[in-house]
Amino acid sequence: MTESKIFLIGVSGPSSSGKSTLARLLRHVLPNSFILHEDDFYKPETEIPVVNGIEDWDCPEAIDFIALRAAIDYIKKNRKLPDNVHYKEDQNSLGTPPVSNEEADEIKKQVLGENSVAENTEFCIVDGFLMFNDDVITKQLDIKFLLRAPYESLKKRREARSGYATIEGFWVDPPGYFENIVWPGYVKAHKHLFVGEDLEGPLAPYAIQQDIRTASAIDSHMKDMLKWALEVVAEKV
């Protein structure tokens, strides 16, 4: 009997780039799959850095990377989510899905066929906005997706959200939060992944060496992103 294998799929990108939507679609179409959300590893509110009097939830210092690395390592060894994590990220609404389950199933059929994934293959989709600024986590992942979208699209989507569930309660962005906190923090943490530190340009040699994949078109429709992601999964699996 062939030993079961688990693949860890990292889905990263800036806030509101479609990470969680793609992660949930992959969970739907890939057999034996589950999601680990980086957002479930925020530090307590008392430990969140404060910038100009505003809590900065979008910087590396807000995430407990030690616990996140340990959780990924546990999943690699045990092929299931650890019991000691408080999972609340799925409480956050993503609105109406841009791709229905029926459409996702059809895309899967086109790319993977009916029985192209072995029954003993499992998938953990790791969803988070700060996956590839951490070298340890980057190396822990088997498949690495980096989503992108234009600044104005990201800003519009972020500001349309009602807020986010946190360990202690619910967070609502104050005015100007995206342009003053979210985007500058993302650029600072990810500019090394791109040639000339241009986040809309090609990937830098380091990112290519780590086999980080990004779609050829920035801000592709989610149908196209799902098809692209499944093509990479088929290549790897």
Q: Hey, which residues are catalytic here?
A: 39
Which pairing describes strands 50-51 and 54-55: parallel, antiparallel, or unpaired? antiparallel
Give per-residue burial for 79-105: e unless 16+ CB within 10 Å, then b: eebeeebeeebeeeeeeeeebeeeebe
Task: State the sign of the Cα–Cα–Cα–Cα dihedral 171, 177, 181, 184.
Answer: positive
Distance of CA 188 to the CA centre of its chain: 18
User: What are the residues whose beta carbons fall under 8 Å from the beta carbon of 53, sequence distance 6 or more?
Assistant: none
